[in-house]
Every structure is written in C-alpha cells, then in structure tokens.
C-alpha cells in the first residue's frame, strides 16, 4: 500500500517534473547548418579526416532529401537553419575526469547514479548533456573484462578500426531524412563493444538531457555484441520546459553477432509540451539492429511518455538463421501529443522468430498510432511472427490508429497480427470505485494492468520509474 501512496503523491505534484534548467556555462557554435558548421563540429571534437568526410557525405545527401510525410503526424515546419547544432558545457580540459558540480546536481535531480558510491545500483552510466558525453562510470571495472563503454567521440579517437567497421553498417548514411541529418551533425553518444563470450556484468545505461535553449540534440549510439556475448542497455532522457520546440534526432545501431544477445530498453520522457501543445521535443529517431549471426537475439523494450511528436520505429533485421527478436512497447500520449511509433521485423534467415507487443494509450486530444512492418523474404523458411497491438482510448477527443504492413513471400513462414481498440470499461471503473478506489487511481491501476506485459520486460531499475511515469502522464485525463 505504501507504494500506492507514493504513486498517488507523485500524481499530486503533477506536471513535468524534469522541467528545470541547469545554469552551466555553455559553449555554442553559431546557428544554422552548412559545410563550415560541420567542419567546425568535427574540429571541436578533434576528429580524424575520415570522420569529417563521413559527415560531409551525409550532409550532401541530406540536402537532396525531402522530409518524410507518410506518418500520421501533423508536424509544424522546422527551420533547420534556426537550430544550434552543437552546445557543450565549457571547461573542456577536465571534462571526462571531473564533472561540474552544477551538472552533478542536475543528474542528482534526475536520480542518475553517476558516482561509484552508487555502486550497489550496479549500473554503468554514460551521461550525455546537450552535445557531449559528460562522464562514463565504471570504466575500469568493465575494461577488465575487455568491454568498451565510452563516449562516441572517444571511440572515434581510440577505437577507429571498430567504428569504421560498424558505423552506418545498419543505418546507412542516406537511410532517411533524419538519419542523414544525424550522420552529418551528430555530436556525441555512446559506444559499446562486448568481446566474444563475455557476459556484461552490469546494466549499461545512457542518459540524455537537452539543457540549452535553441539547440538540437543529435546523439549516436553504436552497440556491438560479439559472438556469444550478452549485454543489457538502458537509455533515458529528459529536457527542460521551454515554449519552443526542440529537435532530437538520434541514430542507434546495434550489431548482434552469432549467439549473442542484446536487450535494449528505453524510457523516453522528453518534455511533451504544455496542455495547449506549446513547446515540447520533436523526437525523430532511427533505431535499428541486425541479428547478424545465427542464434542471435535482440530485444527492444520501450516506454514512451514524452515528446510533443514521436517518430520512431526500432527495427530488427533477422539475418542469421535461428535468430530472434522481440519488441515490447507502451506509448502514452496525453494533451496535444502525437506519436507515430512501432517496429519493423525483416526476416531474412531461416527459422527466424519475432514477437511484437504494442500497447498504445491515448488521452486528452492526442493522436497515437502504431505503424509496423513484418516482412518475410523468400529465404525465410519456417520463420514466425506474432504481433499484438492494443489501443486504449481515454476520453472522446483523442485518436488511436493501427497501421500494420504484413508481407509474406515464403510459403513456410507464418505471420499473425491482431489488434484491438477499446476504452476503459465502465464496469471496471465501477468495480474499483465501489471498493473505495478513486477514479484517477482506478485508471492508473487499470492502465498498469493493461501495460503489464511490457513493463514486466523492463530491467528492475526502470520498471518502477516507468510505472510512475504512466501515472503522471495520464493524470488529469479522467472526469
């Protein structure tokens, strides 16, 4: 019961709790985007020539591309010249070793265990603040096992061979508009390499925060799990409350070699804008993994509660025979939020299996869409997919949509898709009310039950946070 009380209390203090701004001295580059800006970003990060070439090539391709318009989203026009593409806390010299006390406070407020004193939490963290990775913890403990976990820019300097081998191997430079933009201007992110046969002893985690006004955040994450290895990776994000829209366009690439397993979890809580839809983050993200080797496994779990607009489709290419992938998602939209999210499962190898469980919850005047592709290529003998997409509507001004695309070109492959849309029934609410549970709490209870299948897949550290988030996001939507 005490946990319920705590949850109730957290509902009471309402609104977006991560909306504070940290006063740190920031270093900006001028607004706008052109080749000089890209050269400047590259120079600031002291990158080798090949990295700059990679960026310029991406930029040239991006210039020729047009904005994707197929999503069920109403996106206001974005002026890409009105964005600052690089902002970093000053004091560059001592950055990785010592964190600015103000920054530390920020991460404390967010409840991120940056210091070894929280060793018990067993989570290694890479924190990305605006454009740079501020600190990475537990480096030495991980290094003993041969695991590389560092900021992306560091990886470019210290492990260029690995980066060159894997970068853009899953999400090509010209994959889509936002991926190309990210490839041109990405500032930092995380790099993870798990060597052959190593089981990563702790959860790895990245925390992203947009702090500065007028900036965009473009981080890049690359995870490589070599043969027979295992890693669980978590990602979280927050941003201050601002009246303007800020752009977040990340790229995540995951490579899973033979018999390796990667578990990737996200709790996305970017600022969603106020009740009238003013401000908020535009979250346009490309996430894709490849099950490259036989018997490999990739699992995506996401809890999406934030962002004014979400455009995100974590996907898996099942190339290795007997490989498998899962996608578990809860997407909550309230007020004026819009989400178009889902997954793609591309079956290439034999006996590949995938499972999709998506739970959408729309409230207020929001629009929530599931969009997914399941594709069985001719060689995908005995491949199997099961998809379940449920939508829950709270209130009569919101919308819930389901757009699955199912393609099968193999006679032995089996695909099943099932979707339902409904609202919380009066009976369920009545039952709770009758037993002294108030309407708001009852909705929380029912929603948590509805999303349980997904929440139970989250690592412990995230599960509690996610449950609370669901409550906070939906508060005010009943009655």
Partner 1 sequence: MTEVIIVQEGQLVRSVEVQRDQRTDMVLLVMPGVSCDIRLDLRLSGEGAEANVYGAYVCGGEEKVKISVDMHHDVPHCNSRQLFKGIAGGASKVDFYGKIIVAKDAQRTEAYQENHNILLSDGAKVDTKPQLEIYADDVKCSHGATIGRLNEEEQFYMRSRGISLEDAKVLQMISFIAPVLENIEDETEREAVASKFEDAIRNIVKNTLC
Residues that bind partner 1 (CB under 8 A): 72, 376, 378, 391, 393-423
On whether the CB atoms of residues 448 and 467 are closer than 8 A, the answer is: yes
* Beta carbon nearer to partner 1, 290 or 419: 419
> 395-427 b/e with 16+ CB inside 10 Å = b?
eeebbbbbbbeeebebeebebebebeeeebeee
Minimum distance between the CB of residue 387 and partner 1, rounded to whole angstroms?
9
Minimum distance between the CB of residue 10 and partner 1, rounded to whole angstroms?
26
Minimum distance between the CB of residue 361 and partner 1, rounded to whole angstroms?
12
CB atoms within 10 A of CB 318: 33
Instruction: Give Cβ neighbours of residue 301 (< 8 Å, ≥ 6 apart).
Output: 263, 264, 265, 266, 328, 329, 454, 457, 458
Closest CA to 149 of 119, 129, 126, 166: 126
* Beta carbon nearer to partner 1, 98 or 418: 418
Instruction: Give Cβ neighbours of residue 342 (< 8 Å, ≥ 6 apart).
Output: 313, 329, 358, 369, 370, 371, 372, 389, 403, 404
Burial class (CB in 10 A: 0-12, 13-18, 19+), 160: middle
Minimum distance between the CB of residue 411 and partner 1, rounded to whole angstroms?
4
Minimum distance between the CB of residue 471 and partner 1, rounded to whole angstroms?
20
Minimum distance between the CB of residue 373 and partner 1, rounded to whole angstroms?
10
* Beta carbon nearer to partner 1, 180 or 398: 398
* Beta carbon nearer to partner 1, 102 or 418: 418
Minimum distance between the CB of residue 346 and partner 1, rounded to whole angstroms?
14
* Beta carbon nearer to partner 1, 88 or 376: 376
Rounded to 10 deg, the angle between the 177-185 and 49-63 helix axes is: 150
* Beta carbon nearer to partner 1, 139 or 401: 401
Q: Report the C-alpha dihedral over residues 152, 51, 210, 106, rounded to 10 degrees.
A: 40
Instruction: Give Cβ neighbours of residue 103 (< 8 Å, ≥ 6 apart).
Output: 22, 24, 89, 129, 134
Minimum distance between the CB of residue 405 and partner 1, rounded to whole angstroms?
5
On whether the CB atoms of residues 370 and 338 are closer than 8 A, the answer is: no
* Beta carbon nearer to partner 1, 215 or 343: 343
What is the dihedral sign for C-alpha 472, 106, 127, 27? positive
CB atoms within 10 A of CB 73: 17
* Beta carbon nearer to partner 1, 156 or 413: 413
* Beta carbon nearer to partner 1, 156 or 419: 419
Minimum distance between the CB of residue 412 and partner 1, rounded to whole angstroms?
6
Minimum distance between the CB of residue 102 and partner 1, rounded to whole angstroms?
45
* Beta carbon nearer to partner 1, 225 or 394: 394
Closest CA to 248 of 217, 287, 269, 219: 217
């Amino acid at each position: 019961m005490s946990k319920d009380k705590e949850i109730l209390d957290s509902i009471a203090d309402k609104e977006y709790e991560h909306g504070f701004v940290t006063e740190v001295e920031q270093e900006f580059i001028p607004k706008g985007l052109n080749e000089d800006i890209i050269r400047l970003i590259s120079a600031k990060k002291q990158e080798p020539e090949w990295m700059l070439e990679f960026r310029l090539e991406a930029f040239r391709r991006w210039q020729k591309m047009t904005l994707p318009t197929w999503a069920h989203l109403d996106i206001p026009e974005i002026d890409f010249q009105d964005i600052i593409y690089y902002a970093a806390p000053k004091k560059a010299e001592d950055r990785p070793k010592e964190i600015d006390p103000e920054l530390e406070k920020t991460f404390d407020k967010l409840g991120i265990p940056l210091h070894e004193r929280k060793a018990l939490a067993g989570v290694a963290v890479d924190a990305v603040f605006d454009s740079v990775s501020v600190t990475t913890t537990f480096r030495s403990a991980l290094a003993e096992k041969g695991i590389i976990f560092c900021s992306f820019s560091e990886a470019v300097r210290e492990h260029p061979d690995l980066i060159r081998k894997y970068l853009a191997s899953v999400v090509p430079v010209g994959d889509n508009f936002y991926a190309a933009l990210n490839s041109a201007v990405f500032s930092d992110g995380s790099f993870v390499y798990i060597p052959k046969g190593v089981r990563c002893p702790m959860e790895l985690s990245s925390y992203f925060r947009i702090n500065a006004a007028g900036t965009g955040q473009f981080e890049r994450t690359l995870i490589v799990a070599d043969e027979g290895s295992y890693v669980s990776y978590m990602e979280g994000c927050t941003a201050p409350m601002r009246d303007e829209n800020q752009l977040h366009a990340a790229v995540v690439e995951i490579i899973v070699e033979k018999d390796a397993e990667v578990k990737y979890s996200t709790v996305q809580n970017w600022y969603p804008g106020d009740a009238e839809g003013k401000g908020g983050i535009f979250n346009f993200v490309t996430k894709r993994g490849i099950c490259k080797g036989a018997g490999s496994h990739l699992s995506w779990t996401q809890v999406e509660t934030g962002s004014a607009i979400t455009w995100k489709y974590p996907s898996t290419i099942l190339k290795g025979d007997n490989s498998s992938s899962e996608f578990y998602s809860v997407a909550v939209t309230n007020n004026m939020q819009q989400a178009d999210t889902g997954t793609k499962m591309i079956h290439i190898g034999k006996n590949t299996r995938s499972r999709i469980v998506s739970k959408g919850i729309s409230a207020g005047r929001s629009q929530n869409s599931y969009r997914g592709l399941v594709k069985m290529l001719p060689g995908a003998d005995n491949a199997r997919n099961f998809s379940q997409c449920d939508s829950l509507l709270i209130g009569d001004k919101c919308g819930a949509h389901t757009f699955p695309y199912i393609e099968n070109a193999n006679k032995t492959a089996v695909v099943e898709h099932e979707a339902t849309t409904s609202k919380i029934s009066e009976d369920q609410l009545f039952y709770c009310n009758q037993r002294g549970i108030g309407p708001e709490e009852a909705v929380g209870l029912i929603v948590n039950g509805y999303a349980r299948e997904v929440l139970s897949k989250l690592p412990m550290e995230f599960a509690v946070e996610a449950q609370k988030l669901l409550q906070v996001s939906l508060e005010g939507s009943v009655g």
